[in-house]
A and B are shown apart, each in its own frame.
Chain A
Amino acid sequence: QVKLQESGPGLVEPSETLSLTCAVSGYSISSGFHWGWIRQPPGKGLEWIGFFYYTGTTSYNPSLKSRVTISVDTSKNQFSLRLTSVTAADTAVYFCVRGVDSWGQGTLVTVSS
């Protein structure tokens, strides 16, 4: 059974870069599926950030596209999220996902000085 686990700083200063990693176990990310990120601001709904497909293609939410990069490290079976120039509006729980069927537990990232 696949498991996903997010890790990274819980506090990021405004204008800095948010970086998170998702460690995957139980399935090789180079074998198939879309691997992506979703976020949820406190008390609000879900927002799709983007994904990479195992063949190498990526796709991002147009509203975040200029600031987002999703990359993969197949040797470690993990993938990462990078979001630049963050503001308080980027404060959210960030989830990594496999396609639509599997979610990590989520990690809260607060943007504050």
Chain B
Amino acid sequence: EIVLTQSPGTLSLSPGERATLSCRASQSVGNNYLAWHQQKPGQAPRLLIYDASRRAPDIPDRFSGSGSGTDFTLTVSRLEPEDFAVYYCQHYDKPPWTFGQGTKVEIK
């Protein structure tokens, strides 16, 4: 089973700042089958990034994903008020699929 570890647990930033979120896997994620989801309170998660670096439809280009193997990064170039939320990475390589524990991006 691939264990995903996200850091930091909480990121305190101001609107307009850059956010950099990390997701580290306990073993290599094949085919870079790594996704990032955003979840706001009371809502279902929403896919932002798949295949480590491909933006999902209708996702603003301020969101970008990078990385391969065991180290992956989600970057939000300039935080908008609606970007303050919890972010989860997920791998979908060989089952069982797993999630990281989440990074909360909060307003400083």
Expressed in whole angstroms, the Cα–Cα distance for A45 and B86 within the complex equals 10
Expressed in whole angstroms, the Cα–Cα distance for A46 and B35 within the complex equals 13
Collect the chain B residues with CB atoms within 8 Å of residue A100's CB: 35, 37, 47, 50, 90, 92
Is B96's CB under 8 angstroms from A60's CB? yes
Stretch touching chain B among A7-15, A18-26, A84-92, A101-109: A101-109
Collect the chain B residues with CB atoms within 8 Å of residue A45's CB: 88, 99-102
Expressed in whole angstroms, the Cα–Cα distance for A45 and B46 within the complex equals 14
- Total count of chain A residues near the partner, CB < 8 A: 20
A77 contacts partner chain B, Cβ-Cβ < 8 Å: no
Which A residues lie at the B interface, using CB under 8 A? 34, 45-48, 50-51, 59-62, 95, 99-106
Which B residues lie at the A interface, using CB under 8 A? 1, 35, 37, 44-47, 50, 56, 88, 90, 92, 95-102
The 7 A-B pairs at the shortest CB distance, nearest first, are namely A59-B95, A103-B44, A46-B99, A100-B35, A48-B97, A45-B102, A101-B47
23 contacts between A and B (CB under 8 A): A45-B99, A45-B100, A45-B102, A46-B37, A46-B45, A46-B99, A48-B90, A48-B96, A48-B97, A48-B98, A50-B95, A50-B96, A51-B95, A60-B96, A62-B1, A100-B37, A100-B47, A100-B50, A101-B47, A101-B50, A101-B56, A105-B44, A106-B44
Is A62's CB under 8 angstroms from B44's CB? no
Say what secondary structure dominates the interface of chain B. Answer: loop
Expressed in whole angstroms, the Cα–Cα distance for A14 and B63 within the complex equals 43
Collect the chain B residues with CB atoms within 8 Å of residue A102's CB: 47
Expressed in whole angstroms, the Cα–Cα distance for A101 and B57 within the complex equals 10
Q: Name the CB-closest residue of A to B95.
A: A59
Expressed in whole angstroms, the Cα–Cα distance for A105 and B43 within the complex equals 7
Collect the chain A residues with CB atoms within 8 Å of residue B100's CB: 45
